[in-house]
């Protein structure tokens, strides 16, 4: 599912016009982005939480030349799914067992 598919799904499920659904989806993403950029955690009950994690500076290697390069410290968004989402993805007895 891409963003256009998500907008179409919101349109059909809510009865909103496509323009209104587009604004809702864009605003939702913008609010999550703004909160994360301010160092806040975003928790959506039953779905999961978004948080910012810090990556330390480190040394890496250019795979082409083998040269050592410095990789600067950075921040990244992290998502942790809530139990209902994990359960929906892994229904009891629905996994494949090798053995």
Q: Could you tell me the residue ranges of all domains in the chain? A: 1-40, 48-91
From 14-28, 29-43, 65-79, 84-98, the region with the lowest mean pLDDT:
84-98
Question: What is the overall mean pLDDT for the chain?
Answer: 93
**Predicted TM-score of the model (pTM):** 0.76
Q: Which CATH class is domain 48-91?
A: few secondary structures
7 CB-near residues (< 8 Å, 6+ apart): 18, 21, 22, 25
pLDDT band, residue 99 (cuts 50/70/90): very low
Which pLDDT score, from 0 to 100, does residue 93 have? 61
Rounded CA separation 50/62 (Å): 31
Which pLDDT score, from 0 to 100, does residue 63 have? 93
Indicate if the pLDDT at residue 17 is higher than 90: yes
């Amino acid at each position: 599912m891409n963003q256009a598919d998500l907008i179409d799904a919101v349109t059909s499920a809510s009865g909103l016009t496509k323009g209104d659904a587009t604004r809702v989806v864009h605003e939702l993403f913008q609010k999550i982005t703004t909160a994360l950029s301010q160092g806040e955690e975003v928790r959506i009950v039953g779905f999961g939480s978004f948080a910012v994690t810090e990556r330390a500076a480190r040394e890496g290697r250019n795979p082409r030349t083998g040269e050592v390069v410095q990789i600067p410290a950075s921040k990244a968004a992290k998502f942790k799914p809530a139990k209902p989402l994990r359960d929906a993805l892994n229904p009891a007895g629905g996994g494949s067992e090798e053995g």
